[in-house]
């Protein structure tokens, strides 16, 4: 079947596509957002989005100036985010649980004309604002959920009536910065146009996955993460579905209860959270029978965990991979076509090839660096010329991720190029070793890194966190190494095991922080 890519008019604003189209479709009275006992209709959503847009204009927003959103998962996130887009701004979002130093970095990097923040982030962000030349004017910082003498209160600010007209936008105008996860340095903003996200929504969410108007979505991943902004805000709004938002920490207990309460049909998760839900006591689990599938992305999903989830709940896991550079998922499993251990197939609308270090395509079945092309590819990284040249080349995203593809077209993730290690002169995927070790009854979580032996040769080192009831010992170390050797090629098995007393550190996307662990191991 020939694929026909979606087309968008030259005059285009993504807030119209996601929000205001629902009013035109007659869904004004349908519930768009469930939040803390409230049901917010699409009409209420669109009215609030437009009021934010008009008030930004009345306060002097200039076209394509940056608006920063730093909030928990709540309706005001949607009002501010889509309102800024409707007004013609460039919007970006950051984690509401960062330390002051990180907020200082983001303020200096984004240089926002306006900032939206809620009560959770205000204490840290206000300290960063005090040290910043950017957005430190009280009129340009709008606070949700609390009164602050220094800044404007969101409800009062939004309640003003104005007929200011939003700036007109084109489909190719910059609209959103999505921040990278910062695995190789400071997080950078991948710059996207107004039509990039609707393109991904059309080819992936609608056509490949089949999200529909009757769905109710819920997410453990938080909205600041582009993965969840897509699955739990943009995708449901694009089809007139409903989303569940909540401010609590997404613990297993909270998620089980809310899935049952709202009869959610689509659940956005990450492997770390899936593992926590599997470890939750049976008496705290509620019914998840309403779910027709759940997404997993953000980090590799161990095959063993996938199998355990299937046995316990029977809810299909749609494992896939995306990036800030592509906006969302471009290789994915799909309902009715799930292969545990694989990331599935390439989403129609994207091209992909695997290249070696010399720029040649690798043979099928071999590991290579992924090159990806599609109409959601970022234009560049803001204020990062060298990084843009390296990773964004003539419409191709050079990801740095290593993959292989089998003869049936299924893709397998082997790790980032800087994660791979060579043992015995052969590349070893740390994720393959980790997936093996986590099957041992004693292993709660682990991370495999490269470390040089006494002869200067790189060998696998496994950092292992044990489950409750197990104690570190030389005997257990030998047992784990033997366990791996019995299931992997011998050169892939860990050469050393280092037992960790605490859970492994994670970055703000809840991925294991390999960069920090490599640094700690080098200094230790």
Q: How far apart are the first and last CA of the chain?
A: 56
SS3 of 208-255: the string is HHCCCCCCEEEECCCCCCHHHHHHHHHHHHHHCCEEEECCCCCCHHHH
| Domain spanning 195-416, CATH architecture | 3-Layer(aba) Sandwich (3.40)
Give the pLDDT score at 259.
97
- C-alpha–C-alpha distance, residues 234 and 18, integer Å: 6
The pLDDT value given to residue 518: 86
Phi, psi of 283 (to 5 degrees): -70, -15
pTM listed for this prediction? 0.86
Predicted confidence at residue 57, as pLDDT, reads: 98
CA distance 97 to 105: 14
CATH number given to 421-523: 3.30.300.30
| CATH 3.40.47.10 given to domain 14-192 | no
**Helix, strand or coil for residue 61?**
coil
Three-class DSSP category at 350: strand
Number of CB atoms found within 10 A of residue 307's CB: 13
Picking from 234, 265, 243, the residue whose alpha carbon sits closest to that of residue 329 is 234
Q: Where do the domains of the chain lie?
A: 14-192, 195-416, 421-523
Domains 195-416 and 421-523 share a fold: no
Helices (H), 288-349: 303-313
How many Å apart are CA 11 and CA 14, to the nearest integer?
10
Q: How far apart are CA 80 and CA 40, in angstroms?
A: 15
- How many other CB atoms sit within 10 Å of the CB of residue 473? 10
CA distance 433 to 449: 10
Q: What is the pLDDT of residue 4?
A: 85
Q: Which of 256, 395, 278 has the alpha carbon at shortest distance from 325?
A: 395
d(CA 247, CA 254) in angstroms, rounded, equals 10
Partners of 346 in the beta sheet? Answer: 331
Chunked into runs of 10 residues, the chain (524 residues) has average pLDDT values of: 86 98 98 98 98 97 97 98 98 94 93 96 93 73 92 95 96 97 77 98 98 98 96 98 97 96 97 89 89 92 89 96 96 96 96 93 93 97 95 92 95 82 71 90 94 79 96 96 89 92 85 85 67
pLDDT of residue 435: 87
CA-based R_g, the chain, Å: 23
Question: What gap in Å lies between CA 211 and CA 225, rounded to an integer?
Answer: 20
> Which residue pairs, CB below 8 angstroms and at least 24 apart, start in 309-314?
309/274, 309/278, 310/340, 312/278, 313/288
């Amino acid at each position: 079947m020939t694929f026909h890519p979606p087309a968008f008019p030259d005059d285009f604003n993504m807030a119209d596509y996601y929000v205001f189209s629902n009013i035109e479709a007659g869904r004004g009275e349908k519930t768009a957002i469930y939040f803390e006992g409230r049901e917010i209709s699409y009409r209420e959503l669109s009215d609030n989005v437009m009021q934010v847009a008009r008030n930004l204009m009345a306060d002097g927003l200039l076209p394509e100036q940056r608006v920063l959103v730093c909030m928990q998962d709540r309706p005001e996130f949607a009002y501010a985010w889509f309102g800024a887009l409707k007004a013609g701004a460039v919007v970006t979002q950051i984690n509401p649980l960062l330390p002051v130093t990180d907020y200082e970095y983001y303020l200096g990097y984004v240089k926002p004309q306006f900032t939206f923040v809620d009560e959770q982030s205000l204490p840290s962000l206000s300290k960063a604002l005090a040290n910043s030349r950017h957005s430190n004017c009280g009129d340009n910082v709008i606070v949700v959920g609390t009164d602050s003498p220094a800044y404007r209160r969101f409800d009062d600010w939004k309640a003003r009536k104005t007929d200011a007209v939003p700036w007109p936008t084109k489909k190719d105008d910059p609209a959103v910065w999505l921040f990278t996860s910062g695995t190789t340095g400071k997080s950078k903003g991948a710059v996207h146009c107004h039509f990039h996200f609707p393109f991904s929504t059309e080819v992936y969410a609608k056509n490949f996955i089949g999200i529909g108007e009757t769905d109710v979505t819920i997410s453990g991943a938080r909205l600041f993460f582009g993965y969840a902004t897509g699955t739990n805000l943009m995708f449901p709004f694009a089809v007139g579905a409903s989303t569940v938002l909540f401010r609590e920490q997404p613990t297993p207990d909270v998620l089980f209860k809310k899935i049952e309460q709202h009869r959610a049909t689509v659940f956005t998760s990450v492997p770390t959270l899936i593992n926590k839900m599997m470890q939750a006591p049976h008496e705290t689990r509620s019914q998840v029978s309403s779910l027709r599938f759940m997404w997993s992305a953000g980090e590799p999903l161990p095959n063993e965990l996938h199998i355990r989830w299937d046995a316990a709940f029977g809810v299909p896991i749609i494992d896939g991979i995306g990036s800030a550079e592509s906006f969302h998922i471009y290789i994915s499993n799909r309902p009715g076509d799930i292969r545990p251990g694989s990331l599935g197939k390439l989403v129609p609308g994207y091209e992909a090839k695997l290249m070696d270090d010399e720029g040649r395509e690798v043979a099928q079945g071999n590991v290579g660096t992924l090159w990806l092309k599609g109409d959601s590819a970022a234009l560049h990284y803001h204020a990062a010329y060298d990084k843009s040249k390296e990773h964004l080349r003539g419409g191709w995203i050079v990801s740095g991720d290593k993959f292989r593809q089998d003869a049936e077209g299924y893709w397998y993730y082997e790790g980032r190029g800087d994660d791979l290690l060579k043992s015995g002169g052969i590349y070893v995927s740390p994720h393959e070793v980790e997936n093996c070790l986590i099957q041992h009854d004693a292993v709660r979580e682990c991370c495999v890194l490269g470390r040089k032996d006494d002869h200067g040769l790189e060998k696998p080192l496994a950092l292992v966190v044990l489950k409750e009831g197990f104690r570190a010992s030389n005997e257990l170390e030998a047992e784990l190494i033997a366990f791996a050797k019995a299931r992997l090629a011998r050169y892939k098995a860990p050469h050393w095991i280092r037992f960790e007393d605490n859970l492994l550190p994670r970055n703000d996307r809840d991925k294991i922080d390999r960069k920090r662990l490599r640094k700690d191991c080098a200094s230790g």
